[in-house]
Structure 1
């Protein structure tokens, strides 16, 4: 059992809180997805000469349930870091997102 102790400690420590700055960075995308769905579309020509169309859409349960993106951001940061965000979601410039 003792030989597994370092691996267990490593796994448990990986589940611990992250820094406030890291939590804020990681939670931005979650808050953005609470505002509206996101997606992308790609169009091209395959090697066979035929047109190719590719796309994806991401819709979260936060969006579907109408959750406030600012509250989603705050809850996420607190959950990940154990601290409140250093600034509100609404004060973050759109370019940072």
Structure 2
């Protein structure tokens, strides 16, 4: 009988609000979003393998923030605020 009462309470507790994220961790995550808002991102990989010969790989990324013309500083600020509920503790690292 107790298990039948404890299980729904535990499930409801798991659905409750989560504690805010650590400000430093939020800043790291939001740095990446702000950098993506600056312009297209990507990489090119070229290699040669003795078994299969030459290989190439190209990745190009376009964020919706870049496509909509959002300011990277505003992207960073709003991202940190959304994750922590507070203003950023440091300026963004956009390099």
User: Residues 52-89 of structure 1, C-alpha deviation per residue, up to 9 Å, x if partnerless?
Assistant: 11121111000001100000000000000000002333
The normalised TM-score by structure 2 is: 0.78
| 1:72 corresponds to 2:66 | no
Give how far 1:44 is off. Answer: 1.2
Higher relative contact order (CA 8 A, sep 6+): 2
* Alpha-carbon separation, structure 2, partners of 1:38 and 1:4: 45
2:31 maps to what in 1? 28
Bigger fraction of residues in helix: 1
Q: TM-score, normalised on structure 1?
A: 0.77
Across the aligned residues of Structure 1 and Structure 2, the Cα RMSD in angstroms comes to: 2.2
Bigger radius of gyration among the two: 2
Aligned to 2:10: 6
Instruction: Structure 2 unaligned segments of length 5 or more: list them.
Output: none
CA contact (8 A) 2:31 2:94 kept: no
